[in-house]
């Protein structure tokens, strides 16, 4: 008469067999498909991994006008210049002593508009903003070979006065700002030469 297998031994054997089958499924290997050439790397979840900002040429360099868009001028006697390109296109130095900075800046498009830029300049020397009618009253226009230049002349309040004389030229889809700022007395002395420089603006 055949011997009977105890029930506890049978249950343990069945559990062991089921566990082996689970291990076989859990350790099954799926062939890894290599990405095709030129396809972007992917992060977990299938989303493409983007390179860090500035690493893939996604940050454009500052505009550097060239050729027909290059602004030129005639330097007054004794003045010097440094052409850098980019947003601060040039730095000029008048032939006078004192704190004076003359810059040529170029920005694409309208750069926020004339009123916004004038009020930004006024804020730089501690003056309050103005409105459109006051803007029209403050504007002087100079006709140059490069086009019409709007010229503004502001002096700060207080004992130590700062003066700013700035010209705005819109041409070829760019906004050009030719600005002289510094202590009021040296800026006043350099103003005639600065205005003459504005009159010679041209595109070559």
In whole angstroms, give the CA distance from residue 123 to residue 93.
23
SS3 163: strand
- Residues sharing a CB contact under 8 Å with residue 156, sequence separation 6 or more, in sequence order: 125, 126, 127, 162, 163, 184
User: Would the pLDDT of 14 be above 70?
Assistant: no
Q: What is the average pLDDT across 127-143? A: 97
Question: In this predicted model, which residue has the larger pLDDT, 26 or 108?
Answer: 108
pTM of the model: 0.66
Q: Tens digit of pLDDT for each residue in 138-172?
A: 999 999 999 999 999 999 998 899 999 999 999 98
- Top pLDDT among 40 and 178 is at 178
In this predicted structure, the answer to whether residue 49 has a pLDDT above a threshold of 90 is no
Closest CA to 184 of 203, 156, 144, 149: 156
Q: Is the pLDDT of residue 25 over 60?
A: no
For residue 27, the 8-state DSSP code is: T
What local confidence, expressed as pLDDT, does residue 69 receive?
Answer: 65
Residue 21 has pLDDT above 60, yes or no: no
Residue 123, pLDDT > 50, answer yes
Its CATH class, for the domain covering 67-203, is alpha beta
Taking the CA atoms of residue 190, residue 196, residue 202 and residue 204 in that order, the dihedral angle to the nearest 10 degrees is -70
The vertex-132 CA angle with 130 and 134, nearest 5°, equals: 55
CA angle, 107 then 135 then 168, to 5°: 25
| pLDDT above 70 coverage of the chain, percent | 66
- At CA 146, angle to CA 143 and CA 152, rounded to 5? 50
- The neighbour count for residue 73, using CB atoms within 10 Å, is 21
Mean pLDDT of 72-85: 92
Domain boundaries, the chain: 67-203
Q: What count of other Cβ atoms lies within 10 Å of the Cβ of residue 10?
A: 11
pLDDT at 96: 93
Query: Between 153 and 36, where is the model more confident?
Result: 153
Dump pLDDT digits (tens) for 174-203. Answer: 999 999 999 999 999 999 999 999 999 999
């Amino acid at each position: 008469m055949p011997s009977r297998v105890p029930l506890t031994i049978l249950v343990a054997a069945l559990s062991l067999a089921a566990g082996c089958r689970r291990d076989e499924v859990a350790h099954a290997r799926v062939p890894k498909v290599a990405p095709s050439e030129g396809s972007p790397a992917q992060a977990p979840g299938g989303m493409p991994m983007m390179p860090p900002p500035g690493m893939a040429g996604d940050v454009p360099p500052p505009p550097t006008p060239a050729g027909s868009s290059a602004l030129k001028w005639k330097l007054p006697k004794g003045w010097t210049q440094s052409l850098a390109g980019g947003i601060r296109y040039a730095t000029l130095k008048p032939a006078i002593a004192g704190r004076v900075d003359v810059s040529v800046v170029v920005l694409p498009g309208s750069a926020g508009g004339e009123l916004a830029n004038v009020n930004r300049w006024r804020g730089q020397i501690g003056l309050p903003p103005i409105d459109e009618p006051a803007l029209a009253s403050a504007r002087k226009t100079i006709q140059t070979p490069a086009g019409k230049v709007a010229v503004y002349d502001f002096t700060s309040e207080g004992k130590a006065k700062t003066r700013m004389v700035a010209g705005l030229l819109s041409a070829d889809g760019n906004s050009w700002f030719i600005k002289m700022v510094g202590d009021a007395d040296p800026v006043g002395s350099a103003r005639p030469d600065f205005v003459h420089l504005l009159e010679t603006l041209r595109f070559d």
